[in-house]
Structure 1
Amino acid sequence: MEKQTTFQQFADRVVDLLSADDVVVGLAAGGSWIGGQLDEYSDIDFVLVTREAIGGNKEMMMGYAERFGHLLNAFTGEHLGEPRLLICLYDAPLLHVDIKFVTLEEFGQRVEDPVLLLDKGGRLQEVLEQTTAHFPHPAYQWIEDRFWIWIHYTLLKVGRGEYFEALESLGYMRNVVLGPLMHIKNGNEPRRLRRVETLCRAEEIAGLQATLAGYDREEIYAALRQVVKLYRQLREEIYGAEVELRRASEERVIAYFDSID
């Protein structure tokens, strides 16, 4: 594929630049690079491992990013809770590239096993062999404690005519609750809504589609009903006895929903 060749050429250039850098321990690629899942819509996820901490120092992070190609723009990932991440847009060719700057010790704390592109002295491979990747799963009790309050809050927004707020709430619950639980049900990593269309069953996607709504009171009510329905189904299939269900909140919120819908 032409785009895969472009990705490889970009990565090869970065590896060449870093090979002579004594500060750099190695370079790895995650995301779609793993398992050859790159396509024309992919971005590149680099993990740049250095002897001393660079992550969090924007000036030093930008210094590396500017060496890799024609950098149009970049910003750090505080909005994701990750100041060590630099999110970049390159030109010639136009590429989205995420660069995470970590030390060798931090490299062992990972959510996936990346592909090693540069490994000086085999130190990255050694870390991979001695540690285990762990993708964080949502806390079921955390979701249950909040879900019915979110439903009630969204109903209040609809009642006031704040439909944009209500639509944002629907999107939030798809992203934080339904997407992760659907992935877990299907044995996937709970990456919110990422690749849900290809990793979950067609009937499940149809159910999720019914949580979409336009700028209309009745459509939002119907979508919110579907959110409740899907959550109850997923909760029953996934949660164990250790999760304390907030039945009183559920009953009162649903009664309120019935009274206004």
Structure 2
Amino acid sequence: MKHTTPATHLASLAPCVFPSTLPASHQQLLQQIITVFSKDPRIVGIGASGSYASDSMDKYSDLDLVIAIEPEDFEQVMAERLTMVDKIKGKVAAFTGEHVGEPRLVIALYAPDALHVDYKFVALPDAAQRVDDTKVVWQRDERLSQLLDGSSYQYPQPDPQWIESRFWTWMHYGATKIARGEYFEAVEFLSFIRSTVLSPLALQQQGLTPSGVRKVEQRLPEFATELALTISTAEKAPLVAAFRQAIALYIGLRDNSEVKLCTEAEQLCVAYFESELSSIIA
């Protein structure tokens, strides 16, 4: 389908008011992206989420962009998305996001300031499905604004019962890694527990966005001090101590939730852990 855009239409759009925390380097790159992408009639609008939308950017921030596409053109744009990203000057790398389960995503890096940009290409109706706020930075008409204004966003919340039903089996798995001497695997497992269980629950219970361990040092400093004790080197004794701390932190968090306890699984896991590893003194 061919699209035509009167020259007077784009000129009539009010300029975007960028957030106060947007660094000059990011603004320059974003303006270039808007200039290039606005020339493509298949693109309805561009939104920005993450720290852009919350006006909390710094020089280390990514640009998280939502590229809303005319639905009938979506498949064609998906086939061309890497070529489209190539048109932005300074690109040194770009690849699609299958490794994070999002093939619509293109992750790109730009010189000279080493700026990271996430482009999420979506058919216009799908722009309403989001986990955080999105601010329109450019649009061809009012459809993207209307869609976002008429929908809500919700960050995925941890389900304490879902976690309780899995936690003890997970911890048994981790204990077997220590017992077998697979220490690096056990270190990686503890990272999973921090980001999937401990930090999300702690943040949720404080009414904060449960975004794993990201900025947990600033958001929950006292909890972060306790969480740091679950970090271990790839050695048996420190791993045993870190696992004990992870279990203690989880039980403390679980006590603040209404869940049906998996008592038999917990008892079996703890007994196994102690029988296999209790002789290790951290």
TM-score range, shorter chain: over 0.9
The 5 Å alignment of 1:30-109 reads: 30-52=49-71, 54=74, 59-109=79-129
1:141 aligns with 2:161: yes
How far apart are residue 219 of structure 1 and its match?
0.5
Q: Deviations over 1:129-151 (max 9, x none)?
A: 21111211122222111110111
Secondary structure of 1:210's partner?
Answer: helix
Q: Shift of the alpha carbon at 1:92?
A: 2.3
1:246 equivalent to 2:262? Answer: yes
Aligned-partner Cα distance in 2 for 1:35–1:176: 24
SS in 2 for 1:83: strand
Deviation at 1:177, TM superposition (A): 0.6
Deviation at 1:111, TM superposition (A): 0.9
1:183 to 185, 195, 203: 203
Aligned to 2:8: none
Q: Structure 2-normalised TM-score?
A: 0.86
Confirm or deny that 1:213 pairs with 2:213.
no
Q: CA deviation at 1:58?
A: 5.4
Q: Does 1:24 align with 2:40?
A: no
- Once residues 58 and 165 of structure 2 are traced to their aligned partners in structure 1, the CA distance between those partners, rounded to angstroms, is 39
Aligned residues of 1:44 and 1:97 also touching (Cα < 8 A) = yes
Structure 1's unaligned 5+ residue stretches are: none
TM-score computed with the length of structure 1 as normaliser = 0.93
3-state SS of the aligned residue for 2:255? helix
Cα 1:209–1:255, aligned 2, differ >3 Å: closer, same or farther? same
1:236 deviation in Å?
1.2
RMSD of the TM alignment (CA)?
A: 1.8
Equivalences for residues 87-236 of structure 1 within 5 A: 87-200=107-220, 202-236=221-255
Instruction: Give the unaligned 5+ runs of structure 2.
Output: 1-19
Secondary structure of the equivalent of 1:113? coil
Give the partner amino acid of 1:65: V
Q: Which range moved further: 76-85 or 58-67?
A: 58-67
Q: How far off is 1:40 after superposition?
A: 1.6
1:21 counterpart SS class = coil
CA, structure 1 residues 57+24, in 2 after alignment: closer, same or farther (shift >3 Å)? Answer: closer
Secondary structure, in 3 states, of the residue corresponding to 1:34?
coil
Alpha-carbon separation, structure 2, partners of 1:55 and 1:178 = 39
Q: How many Å separate the matches in 1 of 2:79 and 2:125?
A: 22
Aligned counterpart, 2:273: 257
Residues 97-142 of structure 1: CA deviation (Å, up to 9, x unaligned): 1100011100011111212110221111101121111211122222
The structure having more radius of gyration, on CA atoms, is 2
C-alpha distance in 2, partners of 1:56/1:19? 17
Deviation readout 1:21-64 (Å, 9 max, x if unpaired)? 21110001111112221112111111111103547965411021
Q: What one-letter code is carried by the residue in structure 2 that aligns with 1:254? A: V
**Greater shift in the superposed pair: 47-56 or 227-236:** 47-56
Identity percentage over the alignment?
A: 37
The count of corresponding residues between Structure 1 and Structure 2 is 257
